A and B are shown apart, each in its own frame.
Chain A
Amino acid sequence: MQNNEPKIKSEAKQKNRPKNLNLTTIRLPINALVSILHRATGCILFLILPAILLLLQLSLSSAQHFEMVVSILHSPFTKLMLLGLAWAFFHHFFAGIRHLAMDVHWMTTLMKARYTSKVTLVLGALATFIVALKLWF
């Protein structure tokens, strides 16, 4: 493979380049938002793996431990955390399905991708809302 990229770029182009990357000056397009949230939620889900295993282990070991796990999961603070984790799961789930769809060349133009980004965010919020209803009502 040959590198055909021009080595010297025009001076005008170089002058206008920002010297540092200030994240607060960048407006994130919706596709980028869904993408970075997919990565962030993936990291969160990875970090809670030991907690999942521990809760499974405890809940299956004996009736007393099962009751303990249930009472932990029913405390208001844990409920709030569960809601956050539920959102993380559902966002990762729907954004992942969006990726799979794009892999088979479905919804790949910019306008369609923007549309599916919105659908992803809405579905994640809806699923989280249903979980909230289950948790508090």
Chain B
Amino acid sequence: MVIDLLTKRYPGMRAWLMQRLTAFAMAAYSIMLLVRIIILQPAVYEEWLSFFQPIWFRIASWLFWICLSVHAWLGVRDVFKDYVPDYDIRVVLLKLLATLLWAYIAWASWLFLVR
């Protein structure tokens, strides 16, 4: 029954669950980041570079950004649904939002994984 709720027949349930899962993952990452900053206290450029050097941290940051994108998509989409009653305008805004979030993902991927 629970699994049935998560199939394509109930997209709202999927959105609801994704919003929560991404929130949980981002909360965990935020605490990790805060603790890491407090422990390492990067103050000069070299320290800042080595702060971003470990591959596990880069992957974690990239995964954080993916969660952030999904979370922002669902959240801002809800805001548009509530405050933009005109369907055509809303579709344009949603396309703009998706383009922005994909561009941010590309940028973040370059920063965290390629650079």
Contacts and interface: CB of A to CB of B under 8 A. Distances in A.
Interface stretch (B6-14, B44-52, B86-94): B44-52
B70 interface: no
Interface residues of A, number: 21
A53 B79 contact: no
A100 B20 contact: yes
Given A46-B75, A49-B104, A57 B111 contact: yes
A59 interface: yes
A39 to B, nearest CB: 7
A66 B44 CA distance: 8
Contacts of B49: 60
A12 interface: no
A63 interface: yes
A60 B115 contact: yes
Main secondary structure of the interface of B (DSSP, over half): helix
A57 B20 CA distance: 29
Nearest to B72: A46
A53 B76 contact: no
A46 B48 contact: no
B30 interface: yes
B20 A103 contact: yes
Interface in B70-115: 72, 75-76, 79, 104, 107-108, 111, 115
B104 A53 contact: yes
Contacts of B115: 60
Nearest to B69: A49
A56 B64 CA distance: 15
Given A39-B79, A49-B72, A96-B27, A66 B104 contact: no
Given A43-B79, A46-B75, 13 more contacts: A39-B75, A46-B72, A49-B104, A50-B104, A53-B107, A53-B108, A57-B107, A57-B111, A60-B52, A60-B115, A67-B45, A96-B23, A96-B27
Interface of B: 20, 23-24, 27, 30, 44-45, 48-49, 52, 68, 72, 75-76, 79, 104, 107-108, 111, 115
Return the 6 tightest CB-CB contacts between A and B, nearest first.
Answer: A66-B45, A63-B45, A46-B72, A42-B75, A53-B107, A96-B23
Interface of A: 39, 42-43, 46, 49-50, 53, 56-57, 59-60, 62-63, 66-67, 93, 96-97, 99-100, 103
